[in-house]
C-alpha cells in the first residue's frame, strides 16, 4: 500500500481570534486526512491563544514576535515535515475537498497548484501559467496554493522586506514559476473573507501598487535580454496602474482613479480600446461629470440669486394661477358655504357627500381629506370657523357633525372623527353594516384651540376654548377650557392661566 504524502498546512495569524478557529475547523474537515497543521502566531495581542487551546492536540502552535505574514510563513515552512506545503490565511476557510482535489492535480513536474481569479470566473479549465503570464498579474490566491516543499530549497523563502509586504506571495509564485511548471485550477474551494484590516482591502491600493512595482523591478533586473520585450514590460506596468485605478474607483475615490487610469494609458495607449480599461475610463469620466457643480462665488452669486428670485416668482405665480382658476372654484362648488379669503395649496380629497361650511380667511395647507358617511345621518356636516388653519394630511371623518370654532390651529396629520368607522361587533362588520347610532356622536372644537401634529380627536369629544392638545395625543374625553392635554388617552397636564 502506497503511503499518502504528508501535507503541512501553514496558518499565519495576527489578532484574528474571531476567525482563526473557523480556519482550523475547515482544515480538520478535509476529505484528505494525512496532514499537519502549523499555526504561527505573529505576536497577537488578542485572545488567539485561548481560541486555539481546544485544538492543542491537533495543531502545532508557535508564537513569535510580530514580523509580518512573510516571516510567519517562513517559520511555518522551516517547521514543516510534509512533502507539500499549503498556505491558509487566518481569515479564510477551505471547502472539504480542497486538499484532495489539488493533490490529484500535482502530476509530474508540477511544483505549484492553486486557484485563479475566482471572483471574476476567468478560469474555466486547468492550465499551466507561464512566468511571463504571472508577471502580468498574480493569478493565485495565497490561501489556495499548495507547493512542493523541495521548491523552497531551490528558490528560497518569502521575502520579508517591508517593500514586499502584501505582495510577498506574488514574488514567491514568480520565483517558483521561473524554474518549475505551475498550474491554475478552475475550482472554487477557498472562501475569502474581506475584512477592514485585510491587506487586500482597497484602502491599501496605493501601497499595493508601490509594492507590486518593487516586485516587477526586481524580476525585470534578473530577466535575460530578449526574454521579455520593452512593449511587454510597458503593458505589464499599464495593467498594474489599471488595477490601482479600479481599486480607487471601487472606493469612490474618482480623482485618484482618473489619475492612475491616465498613467495606465501612458504606458499602453492602445489599452484604451480594450473593454475593461476603456470601459472603466468612461465610467470614471461620467461619474466625475455627474459630481461637477457650477461654482457660486462673489462673481457669480448675484447672477444666480437673480435667477433664483425669477424662479420663485414664476413658481409662485403659476401656483396662484392654478389655485385661483382651478382648485378654489372646484372646492367652492362642493361647499354649501365658503367665506372670503379662502387660501388653499391643493384640492382637498373629498369622499362621499355631506355639508361643508367654511368661514372667512380659512387656510387649507397641503392636501387635507374630508370623508362623509350618510348611513346614519342624511346630511353629515363639517363646519370650520373664521381664521382657522387646517394642516397638511389632516383627516375629517364625518357621519353626523364636526364643528370647529374660530381662530383654531390644527397641525398636520391630525384625525378628527365623530364615529368609529365600523361596528364594534364582528358579525356586523362582516355584513358591512354601519356603526351603531350610539357610536356616532358629534365633535365640537371651541375657539382658539391648538391641536398638535398627528393627534386624534374621537367621537363625542368637546374641546373647550383656548385649550391645547399635544402632538400624537388620543382625545376620548371632553377637554375643559384653558387646558393642556397630552398622552394616550389624553389627560389634563396643566391649566392655562389667563390674564383677564
CA-closest candidate to residue 434, choices 396, 476, 400, 383: 400
Angle CA 101–192–96, to nearest 5: 30
**Is residue 118 a contact partner of residue 190, using CB atoms and an 8 Å limit?**
yes
Residue 388 buriedness (CB in 10 A; 0-12 / 13-18 / 19+): buried
DSSP H helical segments within 223-300, as ranges? 230-250, 254-267, 275-291
Sign of the four-CA dihedral 256, 262, 268, 269: positive
| CA–CA separation, 422 and 289 (whole Å) | 57
What residues does 355 pair with on adjacent strands?
381
Continuous segment of H or E residues that includes residue 136: helix 131-136
Task: Give SS3 for 58.
Answer: coil
**Is residue 339 a contact partner of residue 361, using CB atoms and an 8 Å limit?**
yes
**Is residue 111 a contact partner of residue 181, using CB atoms and an 8 Å limit?**
yes
Continuous segment of H or E residues that includes residue 75: helix 69-79
Please state, as a whole number, how many other Cβ atoms lie within 10 Å of the Cβ of residue 279: 10
Please state, as a whole number, how many other Cβ atoms lie within 10 Å of the Cβ of residue 73: 26
Pick the catalytic residue: 34, 119, 309, 422?
A: 422
Task: Give SS3 for 29.
Answer: coil
448: left (phi over 0), alpha (psi -120 to 50) or beta: left
Q: Annotated catalytic, 222? A: no
CA-closest candidate to residue 474, choices 450, 448, 452: 452
- CA separation, residue 96 to residues 13, 23, 27, 140 (Å): 21, 12, 8, 19
User: In this structure, are strands 491-495 and 483-486 parallel, antiparallel, or unpaired?
Assistant: antiparallel
Start-to-end C-alpha separation, the chain: 111
What residues are labeled active site?
Answer: 422
Amino acid at each position: 500500500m502506497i503511503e499518502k504524502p504528508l501535507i503541512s498546512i501553514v496558518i499565519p495569524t495576527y489578532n484574528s481570534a474571531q476567525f482563526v478557529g473557523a480556519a482550523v475547523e475547515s482544515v480538520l474537515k478535509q476529505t484528505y486526512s494525512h496532514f499537519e497543521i502549523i499555526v504561527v502566531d505573529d505576536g497577537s495581542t488578542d485572545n488567539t491563544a485561548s481560541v486555539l487551546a481546544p485544538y492543542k492536540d491537533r495543531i502545532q502552535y508557535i508564537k513569535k514576535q510580530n514580523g509580518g505574514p512573510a516571516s510567519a510563513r517562513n517559520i511555518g515552512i522551516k517547521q514543516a515535515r510534509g512533502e507539500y506545503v499549503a498556505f491558509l490565511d487566518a481569515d479564510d476557510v477551505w471547502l472539504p475537498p480542497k486538499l484532495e482535489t489539488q493533490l490529484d492535480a500535482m502530476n509530474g513536474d508540477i511544483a505549484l497548484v492553486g486557484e485563479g481569479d475566482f471572483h471574476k470566473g476567468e478560469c474555466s479549465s486547468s492550465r499551466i501559467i507561464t512566468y511571463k503570464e504571472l508577471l502580468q498579474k498574480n493569478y493565485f490566491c495565497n490561501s489556495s496554493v499548495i507547493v512542493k516543499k523541495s521548491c523552497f530549497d531551490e528558490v528560497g523563502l518569502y521575502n520579508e522586506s517591508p517593500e514586499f509586504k502584501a505582495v510577498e506571495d506574488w514574488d514567491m509564485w514568480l520565483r517558483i514559476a521561473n524554474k518549475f511548471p505551475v498550474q491554475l485550477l478552475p475550482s472554487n474551494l477557498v472562501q475569502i473573507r474581506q475584512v477592514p484590516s485585510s491587506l487586500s482591502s482597497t484602502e491599501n491600493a496605493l501601497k499595493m501598487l508601490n509594492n507590486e512595482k518593487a516586485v516587477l523591478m526586481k524580476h525585470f533586473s534578473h530577466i535575460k535580454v530578449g526574454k521579455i520585450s520593452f512593449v511587454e514590460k510597458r503593458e505589464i506596468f499599464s495593467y498594474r496602474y489599471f488595477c490601482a485605478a479600479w481599486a480607487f474607483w471601487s472606493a469612490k475615490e474618482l480623482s485618484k482613479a482618473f489619475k492612475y487610469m491616465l498613467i495606465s494609458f501612458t504606458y499602453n495607449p492602445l489599452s484604451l480600446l480594450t473593454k475593461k480599461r476603456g470601459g472603466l475610463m468612461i465610467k470614471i469620466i461620467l461619474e466625475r461629470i455627474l459630481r461637477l457643480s457650477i461654482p457660486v462665488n462673489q462673481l457669480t452669486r448675484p447672477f444666480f440669486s437673480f435667477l433664483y428670485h425669477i424662479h420663485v416668482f414664476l413658481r409662485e405665480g403659476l401656483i396662484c394661477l392654478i389655485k385661483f382658476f382651478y382648485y378654489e372654484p372646484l372646492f367652492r362648488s362642493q361647499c354649501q358655504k365658503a367665506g372670503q379669503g379662502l387660501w388653499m395649496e391643493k384640492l382637498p380629497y373629498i369622499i362621499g357627500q355631506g355639508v361643508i361650511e367654511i368661514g372667512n380667511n380659512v387656510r387649507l395647507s397641503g392636501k387635507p381629506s374630508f370623508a362623509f358617511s350618510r348611513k346614519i345621518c342624511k346630511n353629515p356636516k363639517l363646519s370650520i370657523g373664521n381664521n382657522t388653519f387646517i394642516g397638511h394630511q389632516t383627516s375629517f371623518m364625518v357621519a353626523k357633525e364636526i364643528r370647529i370654532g374660530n381662530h383654531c390651529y390644527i397641525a398636520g396629520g391630525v384625525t378628527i372623527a365623530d364615529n368609529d368607522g365600523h361596528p364594534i361587533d364582528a358579525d356586523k362588520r362582516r355584513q358591512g353594516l354601519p356603526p351603531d347610532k350610539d357610536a356616532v356622536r358629534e365633535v365640537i372644537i371651541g375657539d382658539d384651540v391648538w391641536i398638535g401634529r398627528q393627534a386624534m380627536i374621537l367621537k363625542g369629544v368637546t374641546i373647550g376654548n383656548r385649550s391645547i392638545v399635544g402632538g400624537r395625543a388620543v382625545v376620548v374625553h371632553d377637554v375643559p377650557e384653558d387646558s393642556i392635554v397630552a398622552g394616550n388617552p389624553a389627560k389634563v397636564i396643566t391649566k392655562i392661566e389667563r390674564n383677564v
